[in-house]
Structures are given as C-alpha cells and as structure tokens.
Amino acid sequence: MIYFDHNATTPIGPAARARLLELPELAFGNPSSLHPAGVAAREVVDRGRAELAAVLGARSAEIVFTGGGTEADVTAVWTMVWEGRARRECARIAFLTVEHPAVRAAIAQAQSLGLAQGVPVAVTAEGQVDLDSLDAAMKGPLDGLCLMHANNETGVVMDLDAVAQRVREHGVYWHCDSVQAAGKVPVRVLEGGLGAARTVALAGHKLGAPKGIGALYVRRGTSVTPLLPGGKQEGGRRSGTHAVRAIAAFGAAAKAACGGFVDGESAGDHARDLGLIGTLRDELETALLEFRGSVVHGSGQPRLPNTLSIALRTPGGQWADAEALMLALARQGIAVSTGAACAQGSRTPSAVLTAMGVSAVQAAATLRLSLGDGNHTGEVDEVVRALHTLLNDG
C-alpha cells in the first residue's frame, strides 16, 4: 500500500517497537502497587514521562498522560468551563473556527448546558488566525482560548508569536492543540509563542506510537479539573490505571520524532527524513497543480512539511469529486483522505474549509495527502499517475 494519510494516524515506528520489545518482564504490574511488579511498571512510566518532557522542554511533573489527544483537549476545555463558572454564571471561551472537532464539540456541549458561551475566532482565507478577530474576542472578559498549533487538514501553522503577545497582555488561559504539529515542527513549551500556553495537547499515534495514548502538558502553577475523577494517578489530574506499554512506546516515539528539534542535539534521522518529506510534498503539489485551476489550501502560509490539501479540477475545468477519487485510489492500494479522519463519511462540507470561505463545491473537490517516514519519490510518481488517469477519465 502507498500510505499518504499520516495526518490520520501513523504506523508504529521502529523506536516504539524496539521499546516494547525491551520492556522488563515485570512491566505488566500496576504502577500504583508497591510490590516489585508495580515498581518495575512505575519505572517504565517514569521513563516515558521523562522522555516526553525532555523533548517538550517541560518538567516531568507537568506531563499528564491521557487516553489520546481528544481527551487532552476536552480536559482543557472543561477546566476552562469550571474555572470560568467560579467567576461568572456563564464561562466565556474563545476558539479558533478551524479547531479540532474535539475542541469545538466540547465547547458546544458546555454551551448547550448553559455553562459556557463559545466565542468564535475567525481565520483568513488562507487558514491563518485572523488577528483582528482574536483582538475582538479578547475585548470582553475571557475565561479561556483554544487556538491550535497547526491545522490537521490544511497543515497551516498558526502565528503563535502573535497569539502569545495577546495572551500575555490579557492574562488569558490558552490551550494549544499541538497534536498534528508534534514531530513535524518544534513543540517547545518554554520557547517562542508556545511559552504563553498553559496547556498543550499531544497524541501518541501521530508520532509513531500506538493508539490510545496521549498527553496534556500542564504548566506549573496551572490546575486542571480531571475529566476522569477517581484515583490519585497523574497527581489526581487523571484517574485510571496507567497504560504502561503505550506510555513506554509514546516516550520512545516522541524522543525519536521530536528530539531533533531540541537545541544542541543532533538533527538525527527523523529531521533528515522531514527534509525529504517536505521535498516530496512540494513535488506532489507541483505535479497536481498542472491541473489548471486546482487550488492549494493554505498556500502562502507556513505549513507542516508533510501536508497537502488541494482542490482538484478535471482537464475539462470542472471541480473533481474528491470522495470518488479517494475510493478509486483506495481500490488501487493508495490511501489518502478528503479531510480529517474523524469527519470521514460525513456528507457535509469540511468545517475547516468552510471557515476559510471555501465553497461547498470546491470543498467537495479537496483531497488531503499527508506524507510520512518511509514515503519515497516512486510513490509520489505513482499517485500522480493514478490521479492523472482518474481525472482524465472523469
């Protein structure tokens, strides 16, 4: 299979696989237990936590393991809701209109219960945060801001420096979803714009770790309301027995995927691979733009090096049927998507593209192709040939 859907999920990488194979025999224990099996498991969890913290530039105590990126996002949103409710009857939470559905749905849920008011922050036609809209949202009392690092559909990397300036001026709790950014661009919680975020979400399966493990970075001095109350795991911030093997793999995968961004550390194989991936993405983009009138979403903005969101036209000038193209490619063993994996199967236009002002017909012509480790030039050529054939036949 040719796999050009790495933004949906990644295969388990060599680093994670190696870590799983080297786990001590007693790692099956419950890390909360005090006998040898529990201690062995706790050591595995501590190592994974330390590795993740190191690549983020965080303290180990600031890492809260979750069941995935969605749980991390929703935990941050509901923390904002309850903190806001302590100050006023209805919390006021601003959010970027292209946020991950987990963020938007959590805010909508709180709003439906009368606990919060969602304040949308617009994006430009290129998918970048509209700073005028952000300024307008911050004019009133604000209990939180959800503004992502990089968009999962278009790959647009937000202007975090400009966001941070405003967050510091207003003293707003900013939650940043870095799920799609981690491993592709630097995610360092004490550096640059991200230094103003109070919480940051990550997901293991976007980095070459198994599914079902994520993390919420919680800056020292920030409290979070546990979405899952009960035990005292994760310092009382997230209950439930630790997923020891998944945490071990997450730590190893994060070190392999993000370590090259750490100052003073060798770029490593992954960083070199990112350069190749960016070159392949650019070659793919150039080839597909040969279909005159096709549009790259987010063009001209900083983008993740692996991501291409493109609305395709047929040689006759008509907008293509992206869903039909995706299914036809799948029959040929080529995996791409029409947008976010969590929205596949929906007949409504992409919420991200709609927020950017893209028409419904153009959104329906959009494919997302996201590359990753292991992709090569021959695969790009094969995908381009397949699309040329399908579009010419259409």
Longest dimension (CA), the chain: 71
Angle (CA) 361-362-367 rounded to 5° is 120
Q: How many CB atoms lie within 10 A of CB 98?
A: 28
State yes or no: is 342 an active-site residue: yes
- The label of the residue with tokens 């292209």 reads 98
Q: Return the beta strands (E) in the chain as ranges.
A: 2-3, 63-66, 91-96, 116-121, 144-146, 174-177, 199-203, 214-218, 295-296, 307-311, 334-335, 366-370
> Annotated catalytic residue: which of 146, 176, 258, 342?
342
- The label of the residue with tokens 């601003």 reads 94
Q: How many CB atoms lie within 10 A of CB 168?
A: 12
- The label of the residue with tokens 């595995």 reads 44
Structure tokens at 351: 């919420």
Q: How many CA atoms lie within 13 A of 382 on its CB side?
A: 14
Residues recognised as catalytic: 342
